[in-house]
Amino acid sequence: MAYDYDLFVIGAGSGGVRASRLAAMSGAKVLVAEEDRAGGTCVIRGCIPKKYMVYASEFGRSFEHMKGYGWKVEGVSYDHNLFLDRMHREIDRLSGIYARNLRNAGAELVDDRAEFVDPHTLRLIKANRTVTAGKILIATGGRTSLPPDVEGIELAITSNDMFHLKQLPNHIVIVGGGYIAVEFAGILSGLGVKVCLVIRKETVLRGFDEDVRSHVHEELKRKGVKVIANASPVRIEKEGEKFVVRLSNGETAAGDKVLFAIGRDPNTEGLGLDKVGVKLNDRGGVTVDENSQTNVAHIFAVGDVTNRLNLTPVAIREGQAFAQTQFMNLPTIFDHADVPHAVFCQPPVGVVGLTEAEARKTYGAIDIYRTKFRPMKDMLTGDEERVLMKIVVRAEDEKVVGVHIVGPDAPEIIQAVAIAVKMGASKADFDRTCALHPSIAEELVTMREKFIPPELQPV
C-alpha cells in the first residue's frame, strides 16, 4: 500500500524534532504535527525558561555577596515584566530555530493537532483532513498534573502559568516536593517572594540519594522557605485577596498564589490510541520496548510520553536511535543507565549513577566517600551554604557507581564526571587524577577516607 508519508510524527518537541530531521535527511517523506509551538516542553514551558528564571533569582543573592568583596551597589531593583519580555523573546527565537531546522532538513511541519483514525491514518483537526503514514512516532511529551480530589483545585496554578505571571506574588504556597516544586521555591525566594512549600513526605526530592535530599531540604529552610512536611492539601479557599490551603495535618497555608507542582503526566489523552490498540502503562504512558516500539509494530514513541526517563537529552537520544534504526540502516539502542541529571535548585544538584540505597540493594557491599564544606567564595561573603559531594563505590572492584553533588556549578561538574562513570572508572582512577586547585571539583579526587554512616558504625 502506498502511504502519503513514510513517517508521521505527533509532536515537535526535542525527541520528535531530532527523529524527524534525521529521517527526512535520510530521504524519508516526513510530516510533523504540532498543536502548540515547535520546541516542546523544554523550550516553551520547561528547562529553558526555568533556567532563565533561576539566573534572574540568583542575582539577588549575588548583590549581597558582592559586599564581602568590597563592592557597593545602591538602588538595586528588579523589573519582572522586563525580564519576562526578554525571556519570551529568546524562547520565540529558539522555537523558530526548531521549526526552521525541521523544514531545512526536508520535513513538513504543520500547526495542527493529530489524532488516530486507524493504525495508519491520522486526522489533522484544524485542517479537517486525513493523512496516512507507513510509520508513526508519538512524541507528545508530558503535561502538568492537578489532583481531582482537592476541593477548589481550580483556584491553583501550574508550572506553565509561572512563566507568564505579570506580577510576582508577595507570598506563594507551593505544593509538591519534586524537582519542579523545589526549583520554583528557590527561584521565587531569590526574587523576594515569601514561600511556603508543602510536601507529602518528610523530605524533598523523592528518588534522590538521602544525603542529597536532606542537604537540599535544609538549604531551602536556611534560605527562608517555610516547609510543611507530611501534609497533603485537602481544600483551597479564597478569603479576600488570599488563597488558603487547608492541609491533611490540620494546618493551613495562605498566599497570593497557590502553585501545584506535583509532577507531570504523559500527554496521551485524546490521541485516539485506544482506537488502534496501543498499550499504555499504569501512569498513562505509551508502553515501548528498547527500540521505542509499541505493541503495534509500525507505531513508536519517544520522550516523556513513554514515562521512562523524563529528561530532554534522553528524548533527543531516543529520537535519534529511532531514526537511525528505522530509516538509516544503523540499528541503535539508547542505554538509559548512568544518565546525568540536575535539579536547578539553589544550590543546584548534579547526580549520575546509583544512590547509596540503590547500590546497597544491587551490590550489597559498597564504600561511601563523602564530604561537606564551605566553598572558598563564601569565606568572604558570610554565607553559610555548604557543598555536599558523595561518591558511591562498589566494594568488590572499586568501580564508581554513583556520584552526587550539591553546590555551585554541580550540573556543570557532573556532566564531565558522567563520562568517567559511563566508562566504568574506579575509585583508584579518581584518586590518581591530579586535582585542579583551587576549585570545588577538586574534592572529587582528594577524598580518601571512607564514610561510615552512624547506624553502621561498630558499637
Are 260 and 153 in contact by the 8 Å Cβ rule? The answer is yes
Which residues lie below 8 Å from residue 77, measured CB to CB, with a gap of 6+?
none
286: amino acid identity, one letter: V
Give the chain as a 3 state SS string: CCCCEEEEEECCCHHHHHHHHHHHHCCCCEEEEECCCCCHHHHHHCHHHHHHHHHHHHHHHHHHHHHHHCCCCCCCCCCHHHHHHHHHHHHHHHHHHHHHHHHHCCCEEEECCEEEEECCEEEECCCCEEEEEEEEEECCCEEECCCCCCECHHHCECHHHHCCCCCCCCEEEEECCCHHHHHHHHHHHHCCCEEEEECCCCCCCCCCCHHHHHHHHHHHHHCCCEEECCCCEEEEEEECCEEEEEECCCCEEEECEEEECCCEEECCCCCCHHHHCCCECCCCCECCCCCCECCCCCEEECHHHHCCCCCHHHHHHHHHHHHHHHHCCCCCCCCCCCCCEEECCCCCEEEEECCHHHHHHHHCCEEEEEEEECCHHHHCCCCCCCEEEEEEEECCCCEEEEEEEECCCHHHHHHHHHHHHHCCCEHHHHHCCCCCCCCCHHHHHCCCCCCCCHHHCCC
Active site residues: 437
Q: Is the peptide bond before 347 cis (omega within 30 degrees of 0)?
A: yes
Q: How many angstroms separate the CA atoms of 447 and 92, rounded? A: 45
